[in-house]
Amino acid sequence: MLRGLGFLCEPDLFFNSLPSAMDLTAYDWYIDDVEWNYFYFRPGKYTGKEFLSSLSDFSCLSFVRIRRFPSGTEEDFMKSQPMDTYEEDFLNGACDLLILFYDGGFTEIYAKDENLTHRMMDVFGKAGVQKLEAKYDYNDGRTGMSF
C-alpha cells in the first residue's frame, strides 16, 4: 500500500509548492511539535484560510508536525486524537494527511488518499525537491508519527 512520500528541500520551496498540490482552504489544520530558528509560531488549530496565509512564515522552520482534518472538526476532537503510530492512530483516526518536516528540510508526508499522494509526487518533483521517493508498506520503516 502507498503510504506517502519523502524528500529533501528548503522550507520555502516546500511550503510555496504545497498550494499547488491541494486546496488548503478546504480543510482544518493542526500544527504541533513546532521548533523555529528565529521566532515563535503559534501551534494549534488553523482554518484553511489561516493556514494558507501563514505559509510565508514557515521559512524559519526547523521542526513541525502538521495534520489535516476535514473542515469543521472540533479543536477538542483534534487535540484528543493521539498520533503516535501509523497503523493504529493515523489509519484509524480523522486525520487524513500528516506532514513531518524536520532538520530544516527533511519532509515526510503521509496521506490516506493515493491520488493525492501521486499528485504531490508530481508537484514536488516538478518543483525540484531532492531525493523524492514514494513510501510503501514494504520500504517505510516509520511506525511513529512524530519526531
Q: Residue 139, SS3? A: coil
Query: For residues 52 and 47, what is the distance between their CA atoms, to the nearest angstrom?
Result: 9
Predicted TM-score (pTM) of the model is 0.91
pLDDT digits (tens, 9 = 90+) for 45-66: 899 999 999 888 877 778 889 9
Chain mean pLDDT for the chain: 88
Q: Which has more confidence, 57 or 29? A: 29
Q: What pLDDT sits at residue 6?
A: 97
Judge whether residue 76 has pLDDT over 60.
Answer: no
Which carries the bigger pLDDT value, residue 81 or residue 38? 81
Q: 62 with 36: CB under 8 angstroms?
A: yes
Instruction: List the alpha helices (DSSP H) in the chain.
Output: 11-21, 48-54, 75-80, 114-127
pLDDT at 42 over 80: no
Q: Could you report the per-residue pLDDT of 112-140, keeping only the tens digit for each?
A: 999 999 999 999 999 999 999 999 999 99
Residue 33 is predicted with a pLDDT of 75
Per-residue pLDDT at 96: 93
What does the pLDDT read at residue 27? 95
**Is residue 100 packed enough to be buried (19+ CB in 10 Å), middle (13-18) or exposed (0-12)?**
buried
Cell of 29: 489544520
For residue 39, pLDDT over 80 is answered with no
Q: What is the largest CA-CA distance in the chain?
A: 39
- pLDDT on residue 37: 58
Cell of 8: 529533501
